[in-house]
Amino acid sequence: MNESELRSLVALLDDDDPEVFQHIEDKLLSYGTGVIPFLEEEWGELKDMIHQQRLENIIHQLQFNELFNSFQTWFKTPDQDLLEGVYLICKYRFPEYDKQNLINTIERLRLDVWLEMNYELSPYEKVRIINYILYQVHGFKGNVDNYHDPSNSFINQVLESKKGNPILLATIYILVAQKLNIPIYGVNLPQHFVLAYMEEFGKSNVEMRFNDIEKLLNQNGKILFYINAFNGGTIFSKSNLEQFLQQIKVESRQAFLDPCSNLDIIKRILRNLASSYEKLGKPHKQNEILKILYALGEPPLADFHELGSDPE
């Protein structure tokens, strides 16, 4: 399609006839994301706010369709790479965000930890070094003032503000640990998200795919201790975790004690995001996030409160 034809379609978007508008919208959506640069230029030329809003909605829908397809592709990959997953979530709100920026920021954190790290140290000592770099040098902390702000679910904003919810701070912790071949994994605890430090078995642990949790548990399986990334990397025991479950009146299950997969982490971040949009009264955004969850194997209209989003 040439520019003059596209321009004619954009001009017709202000038609008051719903059928005409729907036809033009469907036509523009059928061209895919390749037309977005042109549509963005046209948006800047429009004078009518309603006309602008209609075009803006079409641009967003094109971007969302591409993102939905990207999540489907990610879901089918064997490793379901964690960094790629949080990057895709980031693209929901920041479609132009450059993945290399995310890679570079995590790499800087890894380098800062690596410069202090001695691999002869005990697991406790290694965690103390990670905690020192993340929480004291870089100033990461839990966002207790705006716990349900959607920004807590976008890793680029958490890396910039140094404030986030439990699962995003834990995700950053995991990504740094993975880069250092330190066996720290997420634990999908109800009403909170924590980390587990697995027993190290030399090279076998280093070569283990971080998403192959079932194989990890079968071969190694021993958790040395847990870490609370939301509270400065505090170390605690299995008995402490079980006491927490008693306090919130949740029956202890092995799934609440063992490491979870990358897919579990991404789905929980999305459930938190859907919950945030619900609290803000933005049902359209909430429904789009639920559609992405559906693409990741979640049942339609899943109750993200029951499945694990973080409460007040």
| Phi (first) and psi of residue 183, to 5 degrees | -80, 75
| pTM (predicted TM-score) | 0.85
Alpha carbons within 13 angstroms on the beta-carbon side of residue 299 total 5
Calpha distance 79→234 (Å, rounded): 29
**Crossing angle for the helix pair 262-279 and 283-295, to the nearest 10 degrees:** 160
With H, G, I as helix, E, B as strand and everything else as coil, classify residue 242: helix
Burial of 211 (C-beta count, 10 Å sphere; 0-12/13-18/19+):
buried
Query: Closest Cα partner for 92 from 156, 29, 146?
Result: 156
Cα–Cα distance for residue pair 166/283, rounded to 1 Å: 24
- pLDDT recorded at residue 205: 46
Q: Give residue 204's pLDDT.
A: 42
- Of 158, 235, 171, 160, the residue nearest 197 (C-alpha): 235
pLDDT at 306: 43
Q: Which pLDDT score, from 0 to 100, does residue 26 have?
A: 76
Dist CA 106 CA 71 (whole Å): 22
Structure tokens at 38: 């042109």
Question: What's the CA gap between 35 and 68, in Å, rounded?
Answer: 18
> Which pLDDT tens digits describe the chain residue by residue (312 residues)?
566 677 666 666 666 667 766 777 777 777 777 777 777 776 566 656 766 777 778 888 889 999 999 999 999 999 899 999 999 999 999 999 999 999 999 999 999 999 999 878 999 999 999 999 999 999 999 998 888 899 999 999 999 999 999 999 999 999 999 999 999 999 998 888 999 999 875 544 444 445 555 555 555 558 999 999 999 999 998 888 888 888 888 877 888 888 999 999 999 999 999 999 999 999 999 999 999 999 998 876 555 444 455 553
Q: Where are the alpha helices (DSSP H) in 220-301?
A: 238-247, 262-279, 283-295
